[in-house]
Structure 1
Amino acid sequence: MRRMMITSSLMLAMSATAMASQVYKWVDAKGVTHFSAQPPQGQEATSINTAVPAPKPAANEEPKPAPTFESIANPEQAAIDEKVKKDVATKEAERKKYCENVRTNLAQLQNNPRLSMEVDGEVRRLTEDERQARISETQKSITDNCE
């Protein structure tokens, strides 16, 4: 058991060194391209970057967080967590749209003193008291839901 641990530790240490080693590229007199861990004697060689970059997410895709121990240990909980996150994101988008509409309504109420509304199929103008009451209701709604 101890020998296996020592062997595996040694292999692990050596693999990191091998992965980090330099690679050189050169073309010989016959036009053949060569790759080697050591540069050739008397010839110019270019160093090649062997590190593999991490894949980049698509432009319209958000990077996903690394899986946690809990999500790996309990995939059912991970599925529930993902569903809850989607629901929260949906409700937040709905709230933002609501707030945008309420702010637009408030601007209309504040900037237009001659507003009309339809009541029982009949169109009539809002009185100044009704308009002020709606302005205060709209401001309260913004305070309660949008800030």
Structure 2
Amino acid sequence: MRRANLFVISLLVALPAAAEIYQWRDAQGRVHYSDTPPAGENATTLRPAAPPAVQPDAVEQAGKDVSAATEVDRTATEAARPKTLAERELEFRQRRAAAAEARAKAEQERQRSTERQRDCEQARNQLTALESGQRLARFNRDGEREVLDDAGRVDELARTQKFVESACR
């Protein structure tokens, strides 16, 4: 009997702990606290009511049908439970791999950009040399040096201009 009384008393003591607590000032400026909001007063909620505790085993113990609703409850409980060390480690490794991939992609893009700028600069320099009228020579397939004549200069000038237009956007 004594245990039952102690159990009932502990339940009664625990009930107010889950209630909302309101704070307000009266006309004289005194601060009041209550578990019910005052009528006609602007009260501030200090602590919202705690959601009722749900035990997932209670549904199975009651012998109810474990259906889609229970599956949703299990999914919600799994999402709410703290992650294990292995799960956190896996997420960390995935984030680190994604960051490394992004860095590598950015480095490749930077190298491509640098290469395009270098090619553009070389093509512009060659175009300037072609337009200046100075004598230009290049090596043929046999490795012999051959001087460009006027027709070769015009062809090379047109080819270089097209390359500058495409490489220097």
TM-score category by the smaller chain?
A: 0.3 to 0.5
Task: Compare the two structures and name the one with the higher helix fraction.
Answer: 2
TM-score by length of 2: 0.42
